[in-house]
Amino acid sequence: TVLLTVGAVLTSVVLGLACALLVDRKFLGRGICRTLLIAPFLVMPAAAALLWKTTMLNPVFGIVNWVLGPLGVGDVDWASQYPLFTIILVETWHWAPFMMLILLGGLQSQDRSVLEAARVDGATTIQTFRFLTLPHLRQFIELGVVLGSIYLVQTFDSIFMITQGGPGTATTNLPFELYQTAFRAFDVGEAAALGVIVVILTI
């Protein structure tokens, strides 16, 4: 659960920041690009999981294997061979747009005159980002990490649809363990206790 949540949250923040920096610039078709980047966040989690399982990561007909084929990757069964990576990938694809929206709001709230002054004083793009933009975005990054952790600790749809918690318990988190305890083992008492733990972690 910890590795899944931490991996998905950190990857979503980094990818969301990269996308936010991209669409914060002025270029032709910026509105369309923003809409396309936000689109994955609007897809229902169960539908997103099915899309990745049947279309993107299918070992025989999957788009990912087709794209990586010329690189000699071959027919990889991602869900079986790399289950944790697969779930992190799906959750990152789904939540990176959410992080992008938060960080884009932070970028647009930054005082442009300060950035212009830094350029006039000879600061490079990297220096401007490191010493001005990144400190300004700190509270927005913290907000994204907190909200992302709250949502991702409750991940169920992609695990249920793609890996069923396996192989073994490789991708079993607390919500999926709760489901198995309640609806497969019919141990309602233990499931209720797990539910309390999930709520405490969320808080």
pLDDT of residue 96: 96
Instruction: Give me the pLDDT at residue 177, please.
Output: 92
pLDDT at 153: 87
- The whole-number pLDDT of residue 75 equals 83
* pLDDT under 50: residue ranges of the chain: none
- pLDDT at 169 (0 to 100): 87
The model's pTM is: 0.91
CB burial of 89-106 (b: ≥16 within 10 Å; e: otherwise) equals bbbbbbbbbbbbbbbbeb
